[in-house]
Every structure is written in C-alpha cells, then in structure tokens.
Amino acid sequence: MARPRTHDEALRLKLLDRAGELIAADGPKALSLRKLAADAGTSTTAVYSLFGSKPDLVNALYTEGFRRFGARMAGTPLTGDAVEDLVALGSAYRTSALADPHLYGIMFTRSVPGFEPNDDAEKLARKTLEPLERIIRRAVADGVFIDVPPETIAVGCWGIVHGLVSLELTGNLPEEFDVTGAYEAALRANASGWLRAQISRSEPS
C-alpha cells in the first residue's frame, strides 16, 4: 500500500509563496530554510524533500512565477486587432505582477545575487512571451506595423509595461496618479505608435 503524500502540491505552493514574501520584504538573506519551514508550519525536512538546496528553491520560485505569468498571458482573450491585443497582454502583465508581487522581483530583476535559472526555467520564461511575439510578427508581416525587426517592437512594449509596473510596485508613483487609466493609455499610445499608418501621416504632402 502506497504511503500517503505529506509533502504535497499545496505545501509546495505555500512554501514558495512564503519564500517569495521573505525575499521581497527583507532581501535574499532573510530566506532561512528553518524560518521558512516554521512560517509554513512544517519541517526543514519537508523543505529539503520538496526543493533540495536553497538555490533549487530560488529556481522553483522563478519557475513558479513564470508558470503563473504564462498562464495569464496565454489565457488572455485576443481579438486579432494588433493594438487591442497588445494592450490586453500588457494588462495581463500588470494583473500578474499585482497578484504575485513577491515573485516579480525574482522573475524580472534577479533580486537574488548570483542566481541563474536552469535551462528548463529559462525555456519556460521565454515561452511566456510567445503570445506577444506572435502578435507582433503577424502585424509586421501583414503590413499593419512598420517594417522593423519584431524584437524591436517586443522589447519596446516590454519596456513600457515593466517600467510602469515596477514604479507601481515600489510605490514610486504619485498618490493622486490614476494608475489604471494612465497605464492603459500608455500601452495604447505605444502600440499605436508602431502602426504603419503613422508613417503616411508624418510624410509631407
């Protein structure tokens, strides 16, 4: 008869969320496996059983962050309109960051010095951006967006959302600032700026 699983998926996720919270609140030095186990109401044996070493735990944090982020990106309803779809994906990016701010720094700022994700984690992180890349490649190929390398547009879009979300998460935006409205307006202006029609408007008659 198989032994019951005591170190299950629910415990694994609980430990990951608490580990991310410790790092986000007090930096990577706060990530003590003993404290993590105590905070989660389990043993250090359970932590080692589920993750192995502390670097393995950080890699699991990185992977879990991108797993959740990727699910939100892949689940975003798309319309076929490149501008609207880029705005929708940008909104999903913000939703994911606000839902899991304790994972955001590990995913995008490498907040743990010396940490390098393993190959599988890197592949997962790269895969999460495929919806964005598909929209841009199609828009460039169809002549909707200007003829520049798709990665130029992708990095530009990421820069806009990452910058605004990072300012929001760190509390560096004015209190009276309408974050949601301004965020969507900035995304829409950025996406519209890549439209091929912009060229004809700027050309002298």
pLDDT band of 2, cuts 50, 70, 90: very low
Q: Above 70 in pLDDT, residue 203?
A: no
Least confident range of 17-21, 26-30, 126-130, 153-157: 26-30
Q: Above 90 in pLDDT, residue 195?
A: yes
CA geometry: angle at 94 spanning 58 and 20, to 5°?
Answer: 20
For residue 58, the model assigns a pLDDT of 94
31 against 92, higher pLDDT: 92
- pLDDT > 90: percent of the chain: 78
Mean pLDDT across the stretch 166-189?
Answer: 91
- pLDDT > 70: percent of the chain: 93
Dist. CA 109–CA 120, nearest whole Å: 19
Supply the mean pLDDT for the chain.
90
CB-side neighbour CA atoms (13 Å) of 141: 6
3-state secondary structure of 194: coil
201, two tokens: 């408007």
Domains of the chain and CATH, by start: 7-52 (1.10.10), 65-202 (1.10.357.10)
Q: Above 50 in pLDDT, residue 106?
A: yes
Mean pLDDT across the stretch 162-177?
Answer: 90
Mean pLDDT across the stretch 155-166?
Answer: 95
The residue written with tokens 């600032």 in the block is: 177
Q: Above 60 in pLDDT, residue 199?
A: no
3-state secondary structure of 147: coil
Mean pLDDT across the stretch 113-140?
Answer: 95
Q: Which residues contact 103 (CB under 8 A, 6 or more apart)?
A: 20, 61, 64, 65, 68
pTM of the shown model = 0.87
Taken in order 123, 165, 192, 70, is the CA torsion positive or negative? positive
For residue 3, the model assigns a pLDDT of 38
Q: Above 70 in pLDDT, residue 5?
A: no
Q: Above 60 in pLDDT, residue 6?
A: no
